């Protein structure tokens, strides 16, 4: 029996400049196997039967998006990115509301810079969380020994790594709860680096859903080299 998956909306934050890549363009437009990273990322979602709609958050100065074939895809709506990733995501959530999304609808937020998401991981996330009271995120248990750095750049301690997971995306929450948590956290000046941290700030405990470790975020040059070698 194949388990059914819920309907969902998607927000793709893609308004960053990719400074850590030190490339000649924002990293979401760097080539991978003949197409831009963002095209690979969008493909993970566009043919999903449960997709209600997708918003891509882009810099108002983005000159790379309009020449892509997906720029004219009727399933994709463009929203302006903000100063930080969290601001971009909040703009994307507000765009979903304009598209008719309901407060109780599931929203998946996925980094444009993660082009290697698999269908199986997407389905695992949707199936695992579809009846969850909070939502959650794809994540990977830490596999290396961790070191806490001291102010002198030397090891301060070795924490128990069994308690640590790396947060990945997609992160999946109900539209209204996420928008409220994110908006309130930003107004309060909280440091929000992912959607789960906004939900945690609001007092919720997102569920960790174990996914593939190769759903990496392309952040530094070697990350793209890794994907190109596959
Ligand atoms: N103001 C911002 C900053 C980032 N992002 C997006 O959030 C994702 C993850 O952010 P990150 O890897 O930090 O991307 P950049 O901010 O572009 O990278 P850097 O920090 O190296 O500049 C990326 O898809 C990026 O495009 C965004 O939509 N709006
Ligand atoms: C959202 C995220 O990808 C989860 O690991 C990460 O927090 C993004 O961080 P960045 O500094 O904006 O790349």
Task: Answer whether residue 186 shows pLDDT above 60.
Answer: yes
Closest C-alpha to ligand 2, atom 11 = 193
Closest C-alpha to ligand 2, atom 13 = 219
Q: Which DSSP string corresponds to 136-149?
A: EEEEEE--SPP-EE
Q: How confident is the model at residue 121 (pLDDT cuts 50, 70, 90)?
A: very high
**Per-residue pLDDT at 4:** 82
| Architecture in CATH of 8-228 | Alpha-Beta Complex (3.90)
pLDDT digits (tens, 9 = 90+) for 192-204: 999 999 999 999 9
**Per-residue pLDDT at 32:** 97
Which ligand lies nearest the alpha carbon of 218? Answer: 1
User: pLDDT exceeding 70 applies to what percent of the chain?
Assistant: 99
Task: Answer whether residue 1 shows pLDDT above 50.
Answer: no
Q: Which atom of ligand 2 is nearest to the CA of 194?
A: 1
Residue 85 C-alpha to ligand 1 middle, in angstroms? 6
Residue to mutate (ligand 2; options 84, 115, 169, 191; most atoms within 8 A of CB)? 169
Residue 226 C-alpha to ligand 1 middle, in angstroms? 19
The dihedral built from the CA positions of residue 63, 191, 105 and 103, taken in this order, carries a sign that is negative
Mean pLDDT of 61-75: 96
Task: Answer whether residue 2 shows pLDDT above 80.
Answer: no
CB 126 within 8 A of CB 172: yes
Task: Answer whether residue 46 shows pLDDT above 90.
Answer: yes
Mean pLDDT of 118-134: 97
Mean pLDDT of 57-74: 97
Which ligand lies nearest the alpha carbon of 15? Answer: 1
**Per-residue pLDDT at 3:** 67
Cα 76 off chain centre by: 16
Mean pLDDT of 142-169: 97
Residue 209 C-alpha to ligand 1 middle, in angstroms? 23
Residue 131 C-alpha to ligand 1 middle, in angstroms? 30
Closest C-alpha to ligand 1, atom 4 = 16
**Per-residue pLDDT at 18:** 96
Instruction: With both helix axes pointing from N to C terminus, report the angle between 37-46 and 119-129 in degrees, rounded to the nearest 10.
Output: 50
Task: Answer whether residue 110 shows pLDDT above 70.
Answer: yes
Cis status of the peptide bond prior to 100, with omega within 30 of 0: no
Residue 213 C-alpha to ligand 1 middle, in angstroms? 20
Q: Is the CB of 171 under 6 A from ligand 2?
A: no
């Amino acid at each position: 029996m194949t388990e059914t998956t819920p309907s969902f909306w998607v927000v793709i934050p893609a308004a960053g400049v990719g400074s850590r890549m030190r490339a000649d363009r924002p990293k979401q437009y760097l080539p991978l196997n003949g197409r831009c990273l963002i095209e690979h990322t969008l493909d993970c979602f566009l043919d999903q039967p449960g997709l209600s709609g997708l918003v891509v958050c882009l810099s108002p100065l983005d000159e790379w998006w309009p020449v892509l074939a997906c720029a004219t895809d009727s399933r994709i709506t463009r929203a302006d990115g903000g100063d930080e990733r969290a601001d971009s995501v909040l703009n994307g959530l507000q765009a979903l509301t304009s598209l008719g999304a309901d407060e109780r609808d599931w929203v998946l937020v996925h980094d444009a810079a993660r082009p290697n998401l698999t269908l199986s991981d997407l389905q695992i996330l949707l199936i695992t969380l579809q009846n969850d009271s909070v939502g959650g995120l794809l994540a990977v248990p830490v596999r290396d020994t961790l070191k806490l750095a001291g102010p002198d750049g030397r090891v301060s301690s070795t924490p128990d790594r069994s308690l640590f997971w790396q947060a990945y995306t997609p992160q999946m929450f109900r539209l209204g709860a996420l928008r409220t948590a994110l908006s309130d956290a930003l107004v309060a000046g909280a440091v929000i680096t992912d959607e789960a941290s906004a939900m945690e700030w609001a007092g919720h405990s997102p569920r960790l859903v174990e996914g593939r470790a190769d759903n990496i975020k392309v952040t530094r040059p070697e990350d793209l080299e890794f994907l190109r070698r596959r």
